[in-house]
Amino acid sequence: MGDSAKISVNDSEYEYGVHSGSCGPDVVDIRKLYSETGLFTFDPGFKSTASCESGLTYIDGGQGILLHRGYPIEQLAEQSSFMEVAYLLLNGELPSSKEFADFERTITLHTMVHEQLKELYRGFRRDAHPMAIMCGVVGALSAFYHDSTDITDPEQRMIASHRMIAKMPTIAAMAYKYAIGQPFLYPDNDLSYTGNFLRMTFGVPAEEYELDPVIEKAMDRIFILHADHEQNASTSTVRLAGSSGANPFACIASGIACLWGPAHGGANEAALNMLREIGTPDRIGEYIDRAKDKEDPFRLMGFGHRVYKNFDPRAKVMKETATDVLNTLGVDDPIFDVARELEQIALNDEYFIEKKLYPNVDFYSGVILSAIGFPTTMFTVLFAIARTVGWVAQWNEMISDPDQTIGRPRQLYTGPEQRDYVPVGSR
């Protein structure tokens, strides 16, 4: 493509620069469009809009490619760890052994939460959805950590980033324990990030917790698969909240709120509930028909994606992990059979082929999480733990961008034109 794009408005010609990234579509720089032409662009859902420049993650939706700082997700899922991916996203390069050991130790030493934070949980009903608790407790963190909310200080930004990544598993495990009426467990600094989370979730004070290395590896891989994903809805929410100068804890809380939606991170819970409702392979056809019926709001949860018009590479790794975990645990979950059968039927159905709808990261994750022992209400909480790494990395990238400014979109106004107030006696 050339290095500029021309637009003619009312017989006048305007020219705008075209910029290329390291890979992916070029962009037309329209920052001066309104001041020069008086026109806004119109792009609800931002299907054709690049909201920022970023070097963290790249997705090629046509090829089903996902890179974190250039490394393919398949290689990271196979050879790396969630903490190493966190370091990579935050710092841009894979760490040396010493860099990684220092980073892991730093995160470990931030995993405890303020004792007073426990009182917040007592304000919730025991049957509160864990995501409601996550929104509330994470949003309240800025009340406990005033010494790391000055976003203009890089040192405080990094401490807040480490605190956020480190405390999410503790806060999440406490939300689960509160829901089932069991006591909170303190972190154990001798365990890995993921092992510590599993122990805080499934361990009890009455006995030693036996950490299954296969489950620990599968959970860590699931965290890797959910770490970051370009400017998805929740990441864009975090960036927009951060653009006003809000403190990092409030920004992450806004990301958690957005992720909860069933069209986004809430899809993993909705997908497993859907598979359970289908129940047996013979009922799949009925649900496929409903998904294709324009009059029916039902959608196949865990299918389709704004960017992937080919296989979501994370779904492929997730499906392999599901097979490993179910075999290791000796779990013969009929829901997994329904999922695989549903995938095959959908991928051979003209509707799904024509609309390029493939399984996404949320389609198989619930089968694994359910086999490990998580209730469906915890699925999006697990997504939030992992995506906190991406949200924090994207937030840091935005705040340290010298051109950063508050995000403030415009609109196409279709409401009433100016009119005079009519007193109630004359209406």
Residues labelled catalytic? 305, 362
- Taking the least distance from each CB to ligand SDX, the nearer of 114 and 290 is 290
Q: Which residues are at the interface with ligand SDX (CB under 6 A)? A: 229, 232, 263-265, 267, 291, 299-307, 355, 357, 360-362
**Which residue is nearest to ligand SDX, using beta carbons?**
304
- Taking the least distance from each CB to ligand SDX, the nearer of 120 and 274 is 274
Taking the C-alpha atoms of residue 82 and residue 193, their distance in angstroms, rounded to an integer, is 8
Residues 6+ apart with CB under 8 A from 374: 176, 201, 382
At its nearest, how many Å lie between ligand SDX and the CB of residue 24? Answer: 14
Residue 10 phi/psi, 5-degree rounding, is 50, 55
User: Which amino acid would we find at residue 347?
Assistant: L
Sign of CA pseudo-dihedral 334, 339, 340, 344: positive
At its nearest, how many Å lie between ligand SDX and the CB of residue 18? Answer: 25
At its nearest, how many Å lie between ligand SDX and the CB of residue 240? Answer: 15
At its nearest, how many Å lie between ligand SDX and the CB of residue 310? Answer: 13
Residues 6+ apart with CB under 8 A from 137: 117, 120, 121, 171, 174, 175
Torsion of CA 357, 358, 362, 363, to 10 degrees: 110
- Taking the least distance from each CB to ligand SDX, the nearer of 170 and 235 is 235
Between the CA of residue 333 and those of 48, 119, 257, 269, 330, what are the distances in Å?
A: 41, 38, 31, 16, 9
- Taking the least distance from each CB to ligand SDX, the nearer of 134 and 159 is 134
Extract the tokens encoding 286.
């009925």
- Going by their DSSP bridges, the two strands 27-28 and 57-60 should be labelled as unpaired
The answer to whether residues 61 and 308 touch, using CB atoms and an 8 Å cutoff, is yes
At its nearest, how many Å lie between ligand SDX and the CB of residue 234? Answer: 7
- Per DSSP, 94 falls in state P
- Taking the least distance from each CB to ligand SDX, the nearer of 46 and 186 is 46
